């Protein structure tokens, strides 16, 4: 598979990183309203292809948004995961704030 495709592990790492960033941001900002994350539903489009050569192996890669259909001998499949994130240290689910709701609840300033 080409360099423009992410491995499934890399895509999951990005999702994990974004959940952690959201939690850390809520803590840093001292947000009063937070949400626990019960489940994270993630859906990926993946391509499964066969590399020809001495070994002849199958490869799987997550399709990036805007990727072109220049590949031959690949099929695109949809894979969906329902994840229940938790902290290894505490066993607790992450708590994340809702920045949009917070921004809407703040009074607007008039200059």
75 falls in which pLDDT band (50, 70, 90)?
A: low
pLDDT value of residue 93 = 83
Domain ranges of the chain: 8-105
pLDDT value of residue 78 = 78
Angle at 29 between CA 25 and CA 33, to 5 degrees: 90
Task: Give the residue-averaged pLDDT of 60-85.
Answer: 65
pLDDT reading at 102 higher than 80: no
Q: What distance in Å separates the CA atoms of residue 8 and residue 4, rounded to the nearest whole number?
A: 13
79-88 as b/e: b if 16+ CB within 10 A: eeeeeebeee
Render pLDDT for 31-61 as a digit per residue (tens, 0 to 9). Answer: 888 787 787 888 888 777 776 766 666 666 7
Q: What distance in Å separates the CA atoms of residue 76 and residue 62, rounded to the nearest whole number?
A: 9
Angle at 34 between CA 31 and CA 40, to 5 degrees: 135
Phi, psi (rounded to 5 degrees) for 74: -130, 150
């Amino acid at each position: 598979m080409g360099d423009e495709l992410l491995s499934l592990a890399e895509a999951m790492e990005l999702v994990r990183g974004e959940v952690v960033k959201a939690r850390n941001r809520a803590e840093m900002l001292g947000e009063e309203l937070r949400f626990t994350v019960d489940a994270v539903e993630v859906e990926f489009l993946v391509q499964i292809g066969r590399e020809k050569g001495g070994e002849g192996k199958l490869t799987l890669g997550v399709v990036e948004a805007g990727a072109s259909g220049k590949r031959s001998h690949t099929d695109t499949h949809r894979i969906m995961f329902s994840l229940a994130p938790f902290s290894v240290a505490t066993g607790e689910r992450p708590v994340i704030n809702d920045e949009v709701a917070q921004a809407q609840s703040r009074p607007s300033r008039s200059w």
